[in-house]
Amino acid sequence: MTPRVPPPLPEPRGPLSAAVTAALRGADPGSTPSPEHCSPYGDDLQLALYVLYELHYQGFEGVSDDLEWDSRLLAVRGALEHRFLSALRTDAPVDGDADTAGRALDELQWEPVTGTEGSVSHFLRDEGTLRHLREYTALRSLYHLKEADPHAWVIPRLHGRAKAAMVAVEYDEFGAGRADEIHAQLFADAMADLGLDTAYGRYVDAAPAEALATVNLMSLLGLHRALRAALVGHFAAVEVTSSPASRRLADAMRRTDAGPAAVRFYTEHVEADAVHEQVVRNDVVGGLLESEPHLDADVVFGIRATTCLEDRLAARLLTAWREGTTALRRPAA
């Protein structure tokens, strides 16, 4: 096996991300500007947040592991998180009287017969070229090369039926005991079929803020025990929507001759996530709310926030592709 090395620090996109990357190189974190007037969904804030979260995953080349729990950096991260989370609570509201986790999950299962103009998987199945598939895969690599890792943080915060079911699903995500079947490895194999670099973090600089935000949401929810039910809602949203979307993406990979590993990654998710959907809904969500019913609204928030950010990413991708331009900030060389 090739020795793994952390990725290099990404290039800053504004004063926030510049101050954060400088702090990781030894500058004073106290010089980081306030995010108060910065767009909560913009490139600068989302990259700064992504960089700070990555200290809890693979870290960065030349950055000390001791900085993971540096109190000054945590204070900076907290200010960025507050700005991001406040925006999400405004844009993904929950009606405590009318909204329930069961109703929110039912809504995710509605597959429109028409009106799929906002669906990335429908576009890729019906019109996507290899260029579109490569861009999509490069962006999704920010999550899929660490697939299931953010959700694993919820395991010690669950109890009984919910914990047992969550571990069972995560066991499958991590290859059921086989390193070559870990879903992150299957995705790396798919990237290789598409001629993409499989190095962890390789496409961060190419990823727009909308892609960074979808990954940052998982880390935000995973790192805070108070948001454990929202992370369960996020996980449920992913599993409920994964199987039909994966079927369309597998069709897109076949139609464009993307390669067997590219097809296999999505066919694996068609089968596995159809089963996971029921386990997550009935046992993870059901078990959590059975023991802590007051967290129902938090589950709904996790579902709604996930949908909100995925819709923003879809709009970015589809607008660019339909205009004949790239959705990336720079080409996926």
Domains of the chain and CATH, by start: 15-91 (no CATH), 101-322 (1.20.910.10)
The pLDDT-based confidence of 190 (bands split at 50, 70, 90) is very high
pLDDT given for residue 169 in this prediction = 94
CB proximity list for 102: less than 8 A, separation 6 or greater = none
pLDDT given for residue 257 in this prediction = 97
203 or 118, higher pLDDT: 203
Distances (CA, A) of 286 to 64, 78, 98, 105, 236: 41, 31, 18, 12, 11
Beta strands in the chain (DSSP E): none
pLDDT given for residue 97 in this prediction = 78
pLDDT given for residue 173 in this prediction = 93
Which ranges of the chain would DSSP assign to H, the alpha helix? 15-24, 43-54, 71-91, 101-108, 120-126, 130-144, 149-152, 160-173, 183-193, 209-222, 228-255, 260-279, 286-291, 296-322
Is residue 21 within 8 Å of 51, Cβ to Cβ?
A: yes
Percent of the chain exceeding pLDDT 70 equals 96
Helix/strand/coil for 279: helix
d(CA 39, CA 44): 8
d(CA 147, CA 249): 17
- The whole-number average pLDDT for the span 5-18 is 96
With CA atoms as reference, report the closest residue to 232 among 308, 188, 271, 288: 288
CB proximity list for 283: less than 8 A, separation 6 or greater = 161, 162, 164, 165
| pTM passes above 0.85 | yes
Is residue 285 within 8 Å of 291, Cβ to Cβ?
A: no
| Residue 333 confidence (pLDDT) above 70 | no
The pLDDT-based confidence of 131 (bands split at 50, 70, 90) is very high
pLDDT given for residue 112 in this prediction = 55
- The whole-number average pLDDT for the span 31-46 is 94
Q: Letter for the amino acid at 63?
A: V
- The whole-number average pLDDT for the span 303-313 is 97
CB proximity list for 307: less than 8 A, separation 6 or greater = 92, 108, 237
- The whole-number average pLDDT for the span 148-175 is 96
The pLDDT-based confidence of 330 (bands split at 50, 70, 90) is confident
